[in-house]
């Protein structure tokens, strides 16, 4: 299954990675340490701007939006172009992505978190390169459909509506834990991971394998 998805992990924040608070780098470390076969790519605000500026129809509106919305727009573009896994900076990895993907049935365009009621969320997802699903979202942004409306969360809402109505999406992403608490603190000593069926404390995992805590 994993061969059908580009092995790239995307994360972003407004600052350069070396300027991030230590607990945010510890969170990033969970994605790197648990997924050694995946390429980790961190992108700061300047790099996001450079990418979105390649889409002038979007960029003219993008540059006036709040950073959190700019981040949404950037990730839809970059995961359309190159595919891979997008993970929020306040999402910690709880299971290797390869292990999670072993349990996915069929050949979906995207793996998302389960739907809660009628709405899902996009804190974490994995998508194929040039997915038709992501093209729908990017095309809508290029067309300007909704970008100038008062609702500033339009790109996010469009993604959710598209992803959860698209026929070839698997809603089984269970390799991450997301919480606003992680924006302030990451209790890595209490963090439990599922490493190929073996549950263990994250600190024990990195010590056993000689891995760095903060990356």
What are the structural domains of the chain? 2-208 (3.90.550)
- How high is the pLDDT of residue 62? 87
CA distance 4 to 2: 5
Residue 124: CB atoms within 10 Å? 22
pLDDT given at position 192: 94
pTM of the entire structure? 0.92
- Residues 144-153, mean pLDDT to the nearest whole number: 53
* Residue 150: predicted pLDDT: 43
pLDDT tens sequence across 83-134: 999 999 889 999 999 999 998 888 999 999 886 654 556 679 999 999 999 9
Q: What is the C-alpha separation between 48 and 55, in angstroms, rounded? A: 12
The predicted structure's pLDDT at residue 213: 83
Sequence-ordered alpha helix ranges (H) in the chain: 22-34, 45-52, 56-62, 67-82, 97-102, 132-143, 154-163, 202-208
Contacts of 196 (CB under 8 A, 6+ apart): 96, 99
Comparing 114 with 208, the larger pLDDT belongs to 208
Average pLDDT over residues 80-85: 97
Tokens standing for residue 27:
């969170």
Give the tens place of pLDDT for each residue, 153-196: 567 777 888 888 888 898 889 999 887 677 678 888 889 999 99
As a whole number, mean pLDDT of residues 54-70 equals: 87
Interhelix angle 67-82/45-52, rounded to 10 degrees, is 60
Mean pLDDT computed over every residue of the chain: 86
Q: What is the model's pLDDT at position 1?
A: 47
Cα–Cα distance between 149 and 87 in angstroms, integer? 27
How buried is residue 24: exposed, middle or buried, by Cβ count under 10 Å (0-12/13-18/19+)?
buried
Interhelix angle 154-163/67-82, nearest 10 degrees: 40
- Winning range, highest mean pLDDT, from 31-35, 59-63, 105-109, 144-148: 31-35
148-182: string of b/e by CB count within 10 Å (b at 16+)?
eeeeeebbbebbbebbbebeebbbbbebbbeeeeb
| Higher local confidence (pLDDT), 2 or 77 | 77
- Which residues partner with 86 through β-bridges? 10, 125
């Amino acid at each position: 299954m994993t061969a059908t998805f580009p092995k790239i992990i995307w994360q972003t924040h407004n600052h350069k990675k070396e300027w991030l608070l230590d607990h945010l780098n510890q969170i990033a470390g969970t994605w790197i340490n648990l997924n050694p076969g995946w390429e980790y790519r961190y992108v700061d605000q300047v790099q996001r701007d450079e990418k979105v500026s390649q889409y002038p129809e979007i960029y003219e509106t993008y540059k006036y939006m709040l950073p959190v919305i700019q981040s949404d727009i950037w990730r839809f573009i970059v995961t359309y172009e190159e595919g891979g896994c997008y993970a929020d900076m306040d999402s910690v990895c709880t299971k290797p992505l390869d292990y999670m993907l072993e349990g996915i049935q069929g050949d979906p365009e995207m793996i998302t978190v389960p739907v809660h009621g009628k709405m899902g969320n996009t804190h974490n997802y994995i998508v194929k390169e040039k997915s038709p699903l992501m093209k729908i979202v990017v095309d809508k942004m290029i067309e300007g459909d909704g970008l100038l409306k008062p609702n500033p969360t339009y790109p996010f809402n469009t993604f959710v509506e598209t992803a959860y109505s698209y026929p070839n999406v698997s809603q089984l992403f269970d390799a991450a834990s997301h919480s606003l608490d992680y924006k302030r603190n990451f209790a890595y000593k209490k963090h439990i991971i599922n490493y190929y069926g073996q549950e263990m404390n994250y600190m024990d995992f990195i010590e056993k394998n000689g891995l760095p805590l903060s990356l």
